[in-house]
């Protein structure tokens, strides 16, 4: 097979470190097959799958079951998060050594049931049992509950950003930074969404790494709520322009380690419910690379910086083995892009069964034209090729970060 890359750019395989594939769950919304098909169509070679599925990944049995279920169902390589509860820290401390585990994920707020770990004592216990970098959804749950009382149901969707306000995220992040300092455990704060957190975390770079989301780098309120309604609702929320500007400043000045999509599909019906019953979460694994390439073409970051944040960064933060760079001994994972190709993102391009994207109608300059996973061309010019032969991604737990 001859591959002609005239006028194309070959990048190390791009990684989406924040994806909710939801499997096992509701196959009308998302599946391993549909979500990873979207990933390779969008130029992603590896993704990390979140653990808050119908049966959350809280134990060895659940982890092993997920690995079995994935087999023959994934188009790209997939690393797996473990879900913390208030009672499984000892088991997770051992299980985080399993080679396919990317990290433990803790919901400090915004989660239901056993996945909510909202008190400092439980978080400290989790930090003390184990060694690898822990990932956090950082929102303060008591403040969220208090603020909810201030609003009446049925208001406009932009109230979502007032409810999950800056202090919800900032307070969560201050608590986590203090606990990281006290225990010495490295942590990764997912989807940092405020100027305040980005500035505060400057003093914690020795222990705290950060992720920003493409939605927070592309949209801002209140505009996005006026145009998208419930299809703009996510946690932490899309905020006003001040935070968007701070996020871009952070991308340029080195305060950010990873960029992810937080692909979190919900049915249209759940997104159309009146606020605050609207399901929170947006799709994004398939559109992440085109949208970021467009930001490159519009001069918001360099292609080199984009690769740092979408390949080297995730590989370093999570300890991904043999991926993240083009180097001898590394997997032959490549994303080939056409930096000058102009194309509009269209809803019916989306492979996820839920079938919608907040980027419908968004015009991109720059497009992924080929996805190569471990030497196999799995996507070429919008065609998905071969069979779903993705594997569980492998992490090196030897040199712990
Ligand atoms: O908007 C969100 N959706 N934020 C989360 O933290 C969870 C996610 C989901 O699973 O739907
Ligand atoms: Zn989250
Ligand atoms: Zn998420």
Closest residue by Cα to atom 4, ligand 1, is 235
* Residues recorded for the chain: 401
Other C-beta atoms within 10 Å of 387: how many?
10
Place of tokens 């929170």: 280
On whether the CB atoms of residues 350 and 356 are closer than 8 A, the answer is yes
Nearest atom, ligand 1, residue 110 CA: 6
| Maximum CA extent, the chain | 62
What six digits make up the tokens of 358?
A: 């907040």
Ion ligand 3 residue ranges (Cβ < 5 Å): 262
pLDDT for position 400: 57
pLDDT for position 399: 53
Q: Which of 20, 53, 164, 231 has most ligand 1 atoms within 8 Å of CB, for mutation?
A: 20
pLDDT along the chain (401 residues), means of 10: 92 99 97 98 99 97 98 98 98 97 98 97 97 98 98 96 98 99 98 98 98 98 98 98 98 97 98 98 99 98 98 98 97 98 98 98 98 98 98 84 52
CA angle (277, 49, 35) in 5-degree steps:
75
C-alpha dihedral (51, 57, 62, 68), degrees to nearest 10? 20
Nearest atom, ligand 1, residue 279 CA: 11
ipTM of predicted complex: 0.98
pLDDT for position 398: 66
Pairing of strands 9-12, 334-344: antiparallel
Report which secondary-structure segment, H or E, holds 144.
helix 141-148
> Per residue, what are the HEC states of 19-72?
ECCCCCCCCCCCCHHHHHHHHHHCCEEEEEECCCCCCCCCCHHHHHHHHHHHCC
Q: 141-148 and 166-183 are packed helices; what angle lies between their axes, rounded to 10 degrees?
A: 160
What six digits make up the tokens of 259?
A: 């960029």
Ligand 1 environment, Cβ below 6 A:
20, 52, 110, 137, 234-235, 264, 280-281
Nearest atom, ligand 1, residue 50 CA: 10
pTM: 0.98
Would you give the DSSP letter of residue 310? I
Q: Which of 263, 265, 280, 283 has most ligand 1 atoms within 8 Å of CB, for mutation?
A: 280
Report residue 79: phi and psi, to 5°: -95, 155
pLDDT for position 92: 98
Other C-beta atoms within 10 Å of 305: how many?
17
Report the SS3 class of residue 4.
coil
Task: Tell me how far apart the alpha carbons of residues 261 and 17 are, in angstroms, rounded to a whole number.
Answer: 8
pLDDT for position 397: 81
Task: Tell me how far apart the alpha carbons of residues 186 and 181 are, in angstroms, rounded to a whole number.
Answer: 9
CA of 90 to the centre of ligand 1 (A): 26
Task: Tell me how far apart the alpha carbons of residues 258 and 214 are, in angstroms, rounded to a whole number.
Answer: 10
C-alpha dihedral (333, 82, 235, 251), degrees to nearest 10? -40
CA of 19 to the centre of ligand 1 (A): 10
């Amino acid at each position: 097979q001859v591959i002609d890359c005239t006028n194309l750019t070959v990048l190390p395989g791009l990684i989406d470190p924040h994806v909710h594939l939801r499997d096992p769950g509701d196959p009308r919304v998302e599946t391993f097959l549909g979500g990873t098909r979207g990933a390779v169509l969008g130029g992603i070679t590896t993704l990390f799958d979140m653990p808050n599925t119908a049966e959350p990944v809280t134990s060895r049995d659940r982890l092993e079951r997920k690995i079995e279920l994935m087999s023959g169902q994934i188009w790209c390589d997939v690393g797996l998060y473990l879900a913390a509860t208030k009672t499984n820290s000892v088991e997770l401390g051992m299980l985080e050594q399993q080679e396919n585990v990317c990290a433990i994920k803790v919901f400090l707020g915004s989660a239901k049931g056993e996945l909510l770990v909202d008190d400092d004592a439980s978080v400290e216990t989790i930090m003390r049992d184990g060694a690898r970098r822990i990932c956090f959804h950082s929102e303060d749950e008591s403040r969220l509950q208090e603020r909810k009382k201030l609003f009446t149901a049925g208001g406009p969707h932009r109230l979502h950003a007032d409810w999950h306000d800056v202090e919800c995220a900032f307070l969560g992040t201050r608590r986590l930074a203090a606990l990281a300092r006290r225990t010495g455990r490295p942590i990764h704060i997912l989807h940092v969404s405020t100027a305040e957190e980005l500035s505060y975390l400057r003093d914690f770079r020795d222990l705290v790494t950060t992720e920003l989301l493409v939605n927070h780098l592309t949209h801002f309120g209140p505009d996005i709520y006026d145009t998208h309604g419930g299809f703009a609702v996510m946690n932490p929320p899309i905020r006003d322009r001040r935070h968007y500007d701070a996020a871009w400043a952070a991308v340029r000045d080195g305060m950010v380690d990873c960029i992810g999509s937080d692909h979190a599909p919900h049915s249209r019906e759940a997104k159309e419910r009146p606020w605050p019953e609207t399901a929170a979460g947006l799709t994004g694994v398939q559109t992440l690379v085109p949208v970021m390439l467009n930001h490159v073409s519009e001069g918001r970051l360099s292609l080199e910086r984009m690769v740092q944040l979408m390949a080297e960064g995730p590989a370093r933060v999570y300890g991904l083995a043999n991926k993240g760079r083009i180097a001898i001994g590394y997997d032959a994972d490549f994303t080939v892009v056409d930096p000058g190709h102009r194309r509009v993102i269209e809803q019916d391009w989306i492979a996820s069964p839920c079938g919608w994207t907040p980027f419908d109608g968004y015009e991109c300059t720059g497009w992924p034209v080929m996805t190569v996973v471990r030497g196999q061309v799995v996507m070429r010019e919008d065609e998905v090729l071969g069979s779903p032969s993705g594997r569980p991604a492998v992490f090196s737990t030897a040199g712990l970060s």
